[in-house]
């Protein structure tokens, strides 16, 4: 399917999810995840009107960014090794994978301007997933207060690949609750307005539970692998 048709389909599902949950589609940012696809397919996404793009590896990020830096807002959604921070951090508009103090420290050292970050939270507790345990998020925020170039604009999570919708919903709801806890800190460094949650399989549930940013790869641009 062409990206424009996929996007239309996704937008209509977003609209339905918003109607069910009394939200407005304008509140939702669709991030096209291009990690599976070529430069040509990425270009097709941009032409279809996708304005936010994401990659999860540094090499892929830098390649796509070099082609399309002025055509999209750029999100980095993968694990970022501290030693690679200097190579990408000034190209990234939003980092979705802040998960440790050493990374915050390195960002603070290498960034020219404050970087908008999402703190990645492992809500489901799966061992294979990155991110902080929910109870560690507030202490973590406290521990990075000295890093002025790190702005915590939201929280991010990945739900497990399971069938049970109620359980998936529960994980998203938990992240939304945690965002309220962070907002209540009323910290200038951590306005924490956003929730980055929902992928191809579960973005409608995520929106019903408050997602502001959905990260969609395979059902938008497809997957080559
Ligand atoms: C690959 C990836 C996505 C997109 O996955 P799809 O299921 O293809 O939509 C979203 N978020 C992260 C962090 C990813 O690595």
User: Per the confidence metrics, is the pTM higher than 0.75?
Assistant: yes
Long-range CB pairs of 44-49, under 8 A, 24+ apart, other chains included: 44/2, 44/3, 44/4, 44/221, 45/3, 45/7, 45/220, 45/221, 46/71, 46/72, 47/3, 47/4, 48/2, 48/3, 48/4, 48/7, 49/4, 49/7
Domains and CATH numbers, the chain: 3-221 (3.20.20.10)
Ligand 1, pocket-test mutation among 10, 79, 198, 215, most atoms within 8 A of CB: 215
Ligand 1, pocket residues at CB < 6 Å: 33, 35, 56, 77-78, 158, 199-201, 215-218
pLDDT tens for 6-58 read 999 999 999 999 999 999 999 999 999 999 999 999 999 999 999 999 999 99
């Amino acid at each position: 399917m062409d990206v424009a048709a996929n996007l239309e389909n996704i937008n209509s599902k977003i609209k339905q999810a918003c109607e069910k949950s009394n939200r407005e589609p304008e509140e939702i940012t669709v991030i096209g995840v291009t990690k599976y696809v070529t430069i040509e397919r990425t270009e097709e996404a941009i032409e279809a009107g996708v304005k936010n793009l994401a990659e999860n590896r540094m090499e892929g990020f830098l390649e796509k960014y070099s082609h399309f830096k002025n055509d999209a807002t750029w999100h980095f959604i993968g694990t970022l090794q501290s030693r690679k921070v200097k190579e990408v951090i000034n190209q990234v508009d939003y980092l979705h994978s802040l998960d440790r103090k050493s990374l915050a420290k390195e960002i603070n050292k290498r960034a020219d301007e404050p970087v908008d970050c999402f703190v990645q939270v492992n809500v489901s507790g799966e061992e294979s997933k990155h991110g902080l345990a929910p109870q560690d998020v507030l202490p973590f925020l406290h521990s990075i207060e000295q890093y002025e170039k790190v702005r915590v604009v939201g929280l991010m999570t990945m739900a497990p690949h399971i069938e049970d919708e109620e359980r998936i919903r529960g994980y998203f709801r938990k992240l939304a609750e945690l965002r309220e806890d962070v907002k209540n800190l009323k910290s200038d460094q951590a306005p924490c307005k956003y929730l980055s949650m929902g992928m191809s399989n579960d973005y409608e549930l995520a929106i019903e539970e408050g997602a502001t940013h959905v990260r969609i790869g395979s059902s938008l641009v497809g997957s080559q692998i």
